[in-house]
Every structure is written in structure tokens, then in C-alpha cells.
Amino acid sequence: MTWIVQGIFSFIAATGFGIIFNAPRKMLFYCGFVGMTGWLIYSVFNELYGDPVQASFLGAFMVALVAHLFAKRFRTPMIIFSVAGIIPLVPGGMAYNAMRHIVEEDYLTAISFASGAFMVSGAIAMGLVFAEVIIQLIFRSGIGRKREKTV
């Protein structure tokens, strides 16, 4: 039940971001879908292993992978899909907690939250890059011979 609720709300949130970033109207549904896959992968792994860094990596990897596939399918730039999908993974909570503890002059806790936020951001970046490299390798190896140069 919670997964269904999470899925629905991550879809709504990613679609909302598609509207804020002015994604093409026909692509809004797919923006929401990309956001939903990324978030569901993230929350499943976060629940199972309790490590937000690994979970963010896998979530971002999934977002970029699905975004690339949609980009090939619709022949549009890949960022249209990935931008809205990445937003839910941004470590807003950790950054907020770091800020709050700095204000409360509890610098040690603040540093641990800030390092967590930093690690998660790094994991998101790595996830994006890994997916990109893998897609490039697959399409170069012959399946996508007739591919367009720009994704």
C-alpha cells in the first residue's frame, strides 16, 4: 500500500516539476514516469539496506537510464526527462538538518548531516554518469548503428 502511495505521489511531484521547467506538453507524462521509477528504486533500496548513498546512486542510475531510452524513442534531448526525475532524490532533508544544527550551534551533528548530503549528491552524480557511459557503450556496440549523434 505504501508503495502505491509513494509511486502516485512521486509521479505527481515529477510531473509538477515538468510543468515548472516547462517540459513539452506531450512529454509531461513521461517526465512523471521517470521520476516515479527513480524514486521507487531509491525508496526500495533505502528501506532494504538503510543506506541512502547506495539507494541514491541506484535511483539516479535508473532515472538516467530510462531518460536515455525515452530520449532515443522520442528523439528529444535527454535532459527533458532526467531533470524532473532527479529532483526527488536531492538530499533536501539532510541539507535542511545540517542547516538547522548550524543555527543551533551544534556543529558536530551539522557536519555529519552535511557530509551525508555531500555523499548523496556525489552518488546522484555518479549514477547519472554511469548510466550515460553504459548507454553509450551499448549503442556503440552495434545495436544502435543508425543512432543519431546527440542523445
Partner 1 sequence: MSKVEKEMAIDCCLLAGRLMMEAGAETYRVEDTMARMAETQKLSATHSFVTPTGIIFSPGSPHHTKLIRIKNRTTDLEKVALVNAVSRKLSTNEYTLEEAYAELQAIEKANVMFPLWLQIIAAAIASGSFLILYNGLWTDVPAAIFAGGVGFVIATTMHELTRVKFFAEFIASLFIGLIGYAAIQTGLGTELDKIIIGSVMPLVPGLLITNAVRDLMAGHFMSGLSKGAEAFLTAFAIGAGVAFVLSF
Q: Which residues bind partner 1 (CB under 8 A)?
A: 5-6, 9-10, 12-13, 15-25, 27, 39, 75-77, 79-80, 82-84, 86-88, 90, 92-93, 95-97, 99-100, 102-104, 121, 124-125, 128-129, 132, 148-150
Give the shortest CB-74-to-partner 1 separation in angstroms: 9
Give the shortest CB-54-to-partner 1 separation in angstroms: 18
Pick 33 or 39: Cβ nearer partner 1: 39
Rounded to the nearest 5 degrees, what angle is found at the Cα of 126, between the Cα atoms of 88 and 12?
15
Q: Identity (one letter) of the amino acid at 45?
A: F
Give the shortest CB-131-to-partner 1 separation in angstroms: 11
Pick 133 or 138: Cβ nearer partner 1: 133
Cell numbers standing for residue 151? 542523445
Pick 54 or 136: Cβ nearer partner 1: 136
Count of beta carbons in the 10 Å neighbourhood of residue 34: 29
| DSSP letter for each residue of 61-129 | HHHHHHHHHHHHHHTS-THHHHHHHHGGGS-HHHHHHHHHHHHTT-HHHHHHHHHHHHHHHHHHHHHHH
Give the shortest CB-50-to-partner 1 separation in angstroms: 14
